[in-house]
Amino acid sequence: MVYITSWDDFVEKSVQLFRADPEKTRYGMKYRHCDGKLVLKVTDDRECIKFKTDQAQDAKKMEKLNNIFFTLMARGPEGNIVSRDYFTNQLIYPMQMSPFIYLFLVNRDV
């Protein structure tokens, strides 16, 4: 188990894990209100990566990762899926594009 300190690395590695084995990989989050701590975890039971934070701004980033995983997991990892967020009407990007373009899109403040 490894705690990853860089958010971008965490996003990239977590999505790589999922794409390598979509049936086995799960994405979990643990929130502890009394300590104000948030831990994200992605594992396929062979590899496990984690990211922990106490910062509210990281929760915003997590929202984007949530959107990515909901889209990938509900629609399947293959489909070409650029969809729109139901409320905000923002574009939700799939992982079909190159990781560089993708990371650019994820990190962009929309």
Partner 1 sequence: MVVQVRLQPDPFLNELTNMFERTTEKGSVWVTLKHSSDKSKVQRNKMKTCGEKIEYRCLVRATDGKKTISTLVGPKDHQRFQASYATILKARMTALRKRERKDKRKAADSDKKEDSKIRSTASKTTN
User: Which stretches of the chain bind partner 1, using CB under 8 A?
Assistant: 18, 22-23, 25-36, 38, 53-59, 62-63, 66-67, 69-77, 83-88, 92
Q: Which CB atom, from 34 or from 100, has the smaller least distance to partner 1?
A: 34
Backbone phi, then psi, for 91, in 5-degree steps?
-75, 140
Q: Which CB atom, from 80 or from 100, has the smaller least distance to partner 1?
A: 80
Least separation in angstroms between residue 17's CB and partner 1 is: 12
| DSSP structure class, residue 78 | S
Of the candidates 98, 93, 96, the residue with the CA atom closest to the CA atom of residue 110: 93
Q: Which CB atom, from 18 or from 100, has the smaller least distance to partner 1?
A: 18
Of the candidates 10, 68, 62, 11, the residue with the CA atom closest to the CA atom of residue 37: 62
Least separation in angstroms between residue 29's CB and partner 1 is: 5
Least separation in angstroms between residue 60's CB and partner 1 is: 9
